[in-house]
A and B are shown apart, each in its own frame.
Chain A
Amino acid sequence: MLRYTLERVPQLVIALLGVSALAFILIRLSGDPAQLMLPSEATDAQIRAFRHEMGFDRPLVVQYVDFMRHVLYGDFGQSLRYQQPALSLVLDRLPATGTLALAAMIVTLAVALPAGILSAQRHDTVWDVAATSGALTGQSMPVFWVGIVLILLFSVHWRLFPTSGSGGLAHLVLPAVTLGLYTMGRMTRFIRSSVLEVMHQDYVRTARAKGAPRRAVLTSHILRNAWLPILTLLGVELGALLGGAVITETVFAWPGMGRLVVTAIYSRDYPVVQAAVFAIATIFIVLNLFVDLSYAVLDPRVRYG
């Protein structure tokens, strides 16, 4: 287990280095970051002064080394809009985004698990087609539109939930359903194919031939084995939910990282954009590491393979 963990660490470091390099390259894609960060009416003298102040006039390699040195200390510079450290601004909003992503994942699993299992157990029947087509329908709806339609129906028309903002559980319902809908479709289809694959294994046939009860076959033989790939996708999807939160938080004015990124993009606050991109990617990488490690805990073949 220790060996497996140690093997994964260099990959984690490479990925984090790549992510920081991408965050560095990001604001240099347009050519001149000083011009990008300053308002369009800034004079040449102001641009020159800003370029010098931020160190953009130094060689690129020097800038990158300096950037990496600061990143190691979690320093992405000051937010141009809020005049606060960019990373702390991003991290302050992490709990709100985490809560939303977690709630969306709960909604997703509550629907996808039963639907996926039912679809696999009754595969090639009308139930199966209904579940997979329903999943495809969920995957085909744009998140922002679902959010608006839900607001229109449940907030404006029936007045069951608040239209936006954060607070109690009622504020969480519509954003969580909106965010979870796409993942719900993907998970349903993936759970179906995982369960279906295990259902055709010899040990399941043996268990059935021995006369094991249906429920026991499902829980002890099928789900226990099908769960492992599902867990992997769960990690990937949780990361995707963090990305998807950018749209959902904008629609519902949810005070999380996603909304901060969008606001920062509009106000050309690039230190915040860099910090947020780095933070979300890091969470995504670490999350996947944990999933891989839990995979090794749950499946001895991974540990000793």
Chain B
Amino acid sequence: MAELAAPIPASRRRAGVLRRPVSLRGVLAMCGAVVLALEIGMAIGAPWVAPSSPLAQDLASRLKPPGWVDAAGTRHWLGTDTLGRDVLSRVIFGSRVSLVVGCASVMISAPLGLATGMTSAYYGRALDAVLMRIADVQLAFPLILLVIAIVAVVGPSLLNLILVLGISGWVIYARVVRSETITLRAKEFTEAARAQGASDGRIIFRHILPNTISSVVVLATATVAYMILLESSLSFLGLGVQPPTPSWGGMVSEGRNYVSLAWWLSVFPGVGIFVTVLAVNFIGDRMRDVLDPHLTL
């Protein structure tokens, strides 16, 4: 009887089918981290990694397929484009735009949304009502349409892209942080701090902020992926970084008129976007599992 009643050890309960997928998600996240680290390294070291200059034209070598070797003996692993430029070199340099815009825009939107959401929830009343109505209005627009319209007016440039994407992305952070702050404000430890005479600033920075950071980190990771997609969409529409500077979205756009003739022009830069976003998403997915399993993205 005693043998039957003995509890199954936790290690055995978690073994087998239940355990495998959890580690599989970890493996996917690890793969994502490795891919992303390689890409960042590639973007930083582009002048040394790329086989040639992304702007070097050779009209005699236009639209050559992947693997083609030119007269000088240089192999063009991903082929050449309509101006004879090396596609691999342009893909390598193009990663810079995507990574910079993706990360920099989140560095603007996350603190902006964090500050807005926390202030809105902590001080409540009229300020909360005004800020949340502004959030409602912005949420009434599909983000991509809003961003396209604004960039079309202010003009396409790397800085404008970062600013527009960064400023437009605050809402989701503000919403999440606001709801968390409302809960945290009523917690015993916040009440105790207030009873001890702690200032608003101390309560916010010492007690509320540390408890909202994990959600913000999870959101930020997911947003980097989305911002990279948005940037590439804008570049595809001609509203991103302007030619001849290579960007993945712009390269796909340039190649779409030659899709039946030179598929590699559109396919490879698209693979670059896909792999980067997938890597970030795998990392974000795992981080959500670990840091904030209740957050629905």
How far apart sit A236 and B60, CA to CA, in the bound complex (Å)? 51
Q: Given contacts A136-B281, A137-B278, A139-B281, are A26 and B134 in contact (CB under 8 A)?
A: no
Is A261 a contact of B281 with CB atoms below 8 Å? Answer: no
Number of A-B contacts (CB under 8 A): 158
- Chain B contact residue count (CB 8 A cutoff): 54
Q: Which residues of A in the span 255-305 have a Cβ within 8 Å of any Cβ on B?
A: 261-262, 265-266, 270, 273, 277, 280-281, 284-285
How far apart sit A149 and B265, CA to CA, in the bound complex (Å)? 11
B28 closest partner in A (C-beta) = A133
How far apart sit A91 and B252, CA to CA, in the bound complex (Å)? 30
User: With an 8 A cutoff between CB atoms, is B285 at the interface?
Assistant: yes
How far apart sit A280 and B149, CA to CA, in the bound complex (Å)? 12
- Chain A contact residue count (CB 8 A cutoff): 56
Is B259 a contact of A11 with CB atoms below 8 Å? Answer: no
User: With an 8 A cutoff between CB atoms, is A250 at the interface?
Assistant: yes
Is B153 a contact of A27 with CB atoms below 8 Å? Answer: yes
Interface-lining segment among A41-49, A55-63, A106-114, A124-132: A124-132
Residues of B within 8 A of A124 (CB): 17-18, 21-22
Is B252 a contact of A144 with CB atoms below 8 Å? Answer: yes
Identify which of B144, B150, B232, B259 contacts A148 (C-beta below 8 A). Answer: B259
**Contact bitstring B222-266, A, C-beta under 8 A = 1, else 0:** 000100010011001111000000000100110110011001001
Residues of A within 8 A of B278 (CB): 136-137, 140
Interface of A is mostly: helix
Is A265 a contact of B21 with CB atoms below 8 Å? Answer: no
Is A19 a contact of B270 with CB atoms below 8 Å? Answer: no
Interface-lining segment among A69-77, A212-220, A240-248: A240-248
Is B21 a contact of A19 with CB atoms below 8 Å? Answer: no
User: With an 8 A cutoff between CB atoms, is B142 at the interface?
Assistant: yes
Which residue numbers of A lie inside 8 Å of B, CB to CB?
11, 14-15, 18-19, 21-22, 26-27, 29-30, 36, 124-126, 128-129, 132-133, 136-137, 139-145, 148-149, 151-152, 156, 189-190, 193, 239-240, 242-244, 246-247, 250-251, 261-262, 265-266, 270, 273, 277, 280-281, 284-285
Which residue numbers of B lie inside 8 Å of A, CB to CB?
17-18, 20-22, 24-25, 28, 133-134, 136-137, 140-146, 148-150, 152-155, 225, 229, 232-233, 236-239, 249, 252-253, 255-256, 259-260, 263, 266-267, 270, 273-274, 277-278, 281-282, 285, 296-297
